[in-house]
């Protein structure tokens, strides 16, 4: 029955050649210790064989035991082969079904596993190809509730791939495609109908071999059980083809576990669905410690038919400035991994509304401002580090807010936590930390340093409003850093309509002056996370009763009165003269104005204000409410009129009631006693230099978001602390929160059934 006579010439020839061949694959090679282990296993089988031959048992019993040993040895060898290494590829085949080419066509439906394929024919486990393992990167998990495909047709999106198409991008600066054809073809030799020799020698009285009939995985990407059916043979060396004198057919059910090593844990995850193409921009990304291990997961679709083109482009597409600042993939430390892995579910808020929580279900916009020694805080800015902490030091707390705006140098929103008093911050709007403002998370006392709080003790969970799926795709990462913006195709519908606005955002343009950290677990898979810092010369001082410019939903927004009523401090969007929203990006607004018509273009909005009482004559000729904008091309500053219309602020481009809509302040509106300085003062504006603000931003914890768009205004420093992942799982008592790049292990044998008696 052996078609290849070379199996007789060398002990364990097939497995030896096969495993050595695997070593040529650099990134997914079998470690040599594994080959040694398999060699020891088979050598032990040989010793058992010799011992059995010396036993004073019947010849029949001898042959039966030889066949049984062949089965057990084959199973151990296959298990060792698939459990190759943490950075290997073969372990993905634990998740596959297969069927040997030796199965007669009349018995395929009986002896082969149950296959499928869905509408596309490629959904897991795919249609069977007898004698072949399918390419796992071309097999897809079914898309439950259309979460990944997001309305795309089955021909366009088949689901999330079982296996990745690309290697890690790390310090080598390369992310080549994985040669799954090699792996599948190599492993298919186990089920191609040719018996595989386990042990033989010229002096041996018995030749052992095996044949795998099928593998049948039942489960999902989180693990399950694989049932392997194989047959062990014992033969007479002098008559291999016709000399089989014993067989042993066995089904071995083995539990398959998914494990996430420290190098695989996702400290940053970007990408929510198939449509998220430009969902990551890393810019000047750095690790706090260059020896730390962890992963950045880019949940981005890679076409497995074009992976040889798309994988090498990951470095450029990610916008990473210096790959040497990524984890070291050559030392199995992790790196940038591109695969749409399954995200953990939204954390359950089990104690919401019960004793020990702070539950505010009503509209609650919070604005925290500071300028110099003057602080404009409402009580909510410090509640979670004052009474909201001291009264609940041994109880977890839940706090609900809408929009959170923290602006001005040294402004902060304070939170104190400890291991017995964790905080869940439910955000129903956007967060804007700008111009030096930050979230100050402290450990155990309000006197501790900002960022000293353990990140697993502060969870920030975004709840997006019910909006059209089109709105969800309005924001993405710019190829130059920061957020980019797609125009609203339905701009003519009511401005109050929820489909008219992008989804909420988290903007962290500051974390503090003294290497202070933004320390939290951010769960926001449908939210855009950015560090957007517009490239301006000045920013506006923030005051308690002054009108305020902020960034909500990724667009410029307006606050009528920061310490007024709920309606007065709820941000509303700016719109240009065409009715479009104005994106808050690191790049200037090029769509609001026409230089030939208006005299300026490429603008940023710096401040907004209202004319004071008893204005001087030259100021009185201007509109009552005006914004300060900067033309980044000519460097000139302009006052431009606007009108508040319901729940939006709209710029004008014509004189209204005899008042001028535009006034050129020149290049230096801060020059003392200059006309520009006097004019902006009359409108309640004061400017501060952006050069005085900290540039670098520091993060601890993890952020799992739709878009992660860092700009190039300073470094992004991330602390890949491996204790954090353990503590996060402990907080939620759920291993799914150890989210990251998996490997699979066949470990516990659940059943070992002999399917046929010995011949």
Reported as a single tens digit per residue, the pLDDT across 654-682 is 999 999 999 999 888 877 666 777 888 88
Q: Would you report the helix, strand and coil content of the chain in percent, each value rounded to 5?
A: 20, 30, 45
Q: How much is the pLDDT for 358?
A: 76
Q: Report if residue 326 sits inside a domain.
A: no
Q: Report if residue 88 sits inside a domain.
A: yes
Q: Report if residue 671 sits inside a domain.
A: yes
pLDDT mean across residues, the chain: 84
Q: Report if residue 155 sits inside a domain.
A: no
In a shared domain, residues 750 and 683:
no
Q: How far apart are CA 286 and CA 327, in angstroms?
A: 9
- Residue 44's contacts (CB-CB under 8 Å, 6 or more residues apart) are none
Least confident of 91-100, 233-242, 467-476, 609-618: 233-242
CB 479 within 8 A of CB 529: no
Last residue of a domain, one of 646, 677, 692: 692
Q: How much is the pLDDT for 684?
A: 86
Q: How far apart are CA 587 and CA 577, in angstroms?
A: 19
Output the CA torsion sign for 367, 370, 375, 381: positive
Host domain of residue 524: 366-692
In a shared domain, residues 397 and 545:
yes
Q: How far apart are CA 435 and CA 370, in angstroms?
A: 10
Q: How much is the pLDDT for 36?
A: 39
Q: Report if residue 75 sits inside a domain.
A: yes
- Residue 639 three-state SS: strand
Q: Report if residue 701 sits inside a domain.
A: no
Q: Report if residue 234 sits inside a domain.
A: yes
Q: How much is the pLDDT for 63?
A: 78
633, two tokens: 């091309």
In a shared domain, residues 752 and 676:
no
CB 353 within 8 A of CB 359: yes
For 177, 314, 316, the CA distances from 169, given in Å and listed in that order, are: 11, 8, 11
In a shared domain, residues 251 and 371:
no
Residues 370-385: b if buried by 16+ CB within 10 A, e if exposed: bbeeebbbbebbbbbb
Last residue of a domain, one of 664, 692, 720: 692
**pLDDT(6) > 80:** no
**Bridge partners, 519 (sequence order):** 700
H helix or E strand, kind and range, residue 662: strand 662-666
In a shared domain, residues 372 and 226:
no
94, two tokens: 């634990």
- Residue 755's contacts (CB-CB under 8 Å, 6 or more residues apart) are 229, 249, 250, 251
- Residue 119 three-state SS: coil
Reported as a single tens digit per residue, the pLDDT across 38-85 is 444 444 444 444 444 444 345 557 778 888 888 888 888 888 889 865
Q: Report if residue 609 sits inside a domain.
A: yes
For 145, 526, 700, 702, the CA distances from 450, given in Å and listed in that order, are: 41, 28, 12, 17
Reported as a single tens digit per residue, the pLDDT across 231-289 is 888 887 655 555 677 888 899 999 999 999 999 999 999 999 999 999 999 999 999 99
DSSP 587: S
Q: Look at the block and give the residue holding tokens 């059916």.
A: 229
In a shared domain, residues 205 and 98:
yes
- Structural domain total, the chain: 2
In a shared domain, residues 554 and 467:
yes
In a shared domain, residues 403 and 493:
yes
Last residue of a domain, one of 692, 711, 732: 692
- Residue 754 three-state SS: strand
Cβ-based neighbour number of residue 726 at 10 Å: 14
* Nearest CA among 166, 589, 525, 574 for reference residue 336: 166
In a shared domain, residues 436 and 542:
yes
In a shared domain, residues 685 and 751:
no
Please state the pTM of the whole predicted model: 0.89
In a shared domain, residues 569 and 641:
yes
In a shared domain, residues 609 and 460:
yes
């Amino acid at each position: 029955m052996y078609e290849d006579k070379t199996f007789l010439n060398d002990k364990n020839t097939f497995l030896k050649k096969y495993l050595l061949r695997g070593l040529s694959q650099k990134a997914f090679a079998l470690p040599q210790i594994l080959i040694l282990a398999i060699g020891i296993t088979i050598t032990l089988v040989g010793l058992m064989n010799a011992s059995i031959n010396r036993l004073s048992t019947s010849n029949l019993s001898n042959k039966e035991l030889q066949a049984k040993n062949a089965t057990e040895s084959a199973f151990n060898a296959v298990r060792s082969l698939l459990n190759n290494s943490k950075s290997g590829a073969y372990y993905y085949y634990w998740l596959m079904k297969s069927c040997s080419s030796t199965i007669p066509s009349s018995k395929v439906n009986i002896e082969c596993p149950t296959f499928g394929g869905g509408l596309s024919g490629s959904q897991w486990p795919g249609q069977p190809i007898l004698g072949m393992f399918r390419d796992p990167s071309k097999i897809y998990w079914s898309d439950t509730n259309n979460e990944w495909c997001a309305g795309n047709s089955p021909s366009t999106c088949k689901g999330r791939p079982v296996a990745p198409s690309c290697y890690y991008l790390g310090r080598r600066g390369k992310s080549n495609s994985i040669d799954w054809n090699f792996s599948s073809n190599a492993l298919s030799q186990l089920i191609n109908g040719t018996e595989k020799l386990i042990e033989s020698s010229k002096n041996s009285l018995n030749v052992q071999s095996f044949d795998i009939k099928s593998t049948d995985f039942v489960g999902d990407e989180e693990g399950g059980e694989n049932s392997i059916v194989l047959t062990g043979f014992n033969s007479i060396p002098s008559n291999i083809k016709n000399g089989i004198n014993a067989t042993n057919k066995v089904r071995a059910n083995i539990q398959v576990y998914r494990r996430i090593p420290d190098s695989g844990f996702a400290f940053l995850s970007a990408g929510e669905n198939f449509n998220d193409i430009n969902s990551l921009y890393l810019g000047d990304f750095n690790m706090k410690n260059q020896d730390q291990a962890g992963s950045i997961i880019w949940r981005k679709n890679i076409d497995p038919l074009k992976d040889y083109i798309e994988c090498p482009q990951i470095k450029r597409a990610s916008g990473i400035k210096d790959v040497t600042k990524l984890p070291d993939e050559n030392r199995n430390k992790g790196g940038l991994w591109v695969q749409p892995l399954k995200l953990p579910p939204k954390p359950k808020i089990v104690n919401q509304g019960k004793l020990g929580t702070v539950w505010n279900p009503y509209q609650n916009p919070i604005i925290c401002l500071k300028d110099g020694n003057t602080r404009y805080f409402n009580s909510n800015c410090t509640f979670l580090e004052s009474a909201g902490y001291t009264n609940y030091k041994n109880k977890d707390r839940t706090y609900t807010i809408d929009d959170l705006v923290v602006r001005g140098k040294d402004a902060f929103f304070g939170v104190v936590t400890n291991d017995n008093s964790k905080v869940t911050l439910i955000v129903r709007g956007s967060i804007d930390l700008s111009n030096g403002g930050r979230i100050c998370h402290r450990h155990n006392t309000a006197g501790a340093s900002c960022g000293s709080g353990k990140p697993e003790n502060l969870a920030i969970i975004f709840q997006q409003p019910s909006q059209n799926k089109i709105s969800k795709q309005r924001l993405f990462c710019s190829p130059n850093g920061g957020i980019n913006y797609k125009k609203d195709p339905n701009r003519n519908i009511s401005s109050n309509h929820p489909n008219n606005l992008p989804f909420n955002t988290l903007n962290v343009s500051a974390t503090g002056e003294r290497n202070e950290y933004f320390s939290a677990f951010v769960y926001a898979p449908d939210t855009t996370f950015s560090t957007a810092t517009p490239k301006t010369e000045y920013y506006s001082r923030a005051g308690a009763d002054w009108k305020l410019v902020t960034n909500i939903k990724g667009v410029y927004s307006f606050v009528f009165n920061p310490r007024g009523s709920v309606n007065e401090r709820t941000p509303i969007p700016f719109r240009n003269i065409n009715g479009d929203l104005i994106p808050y990006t690191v790049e200037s607004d090029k769509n609001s104005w026409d230089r030939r018509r208006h005299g300026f273009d490429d603008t940023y909005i710096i401040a907004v204000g209202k004319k004071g009482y008893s204005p001087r004559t030259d100021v009185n000729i201007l509109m009552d409410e005006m914004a300060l904008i900067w033309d980044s091309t000519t460097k000139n500053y302009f006052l431009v009129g606007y009108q508040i219309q319901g729940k939006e602020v709209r710029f004008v481009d014509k004189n209204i009631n005899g008042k001028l809509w535009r006034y050129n302040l020149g290049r230096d509106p801060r020059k003392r006693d200059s006309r520009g300085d006097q004019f902006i003062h009359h409108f309640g504006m004061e400017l501060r230099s952006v050069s005085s603000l900290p540039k670098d931003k520091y993060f601890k914890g993890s952020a799992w978001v739709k878009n992660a768009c860092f700009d190039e205004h300073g470094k992004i420093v991330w602390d890949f602390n491996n204790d954090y992942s353990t503590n996060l799982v402990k907080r939620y008592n759920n291993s799914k929160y150890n989210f990251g790049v998996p490997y699979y292990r066949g470990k516990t044998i659940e059943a070992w059934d002999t399917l046929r008696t010995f011949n």
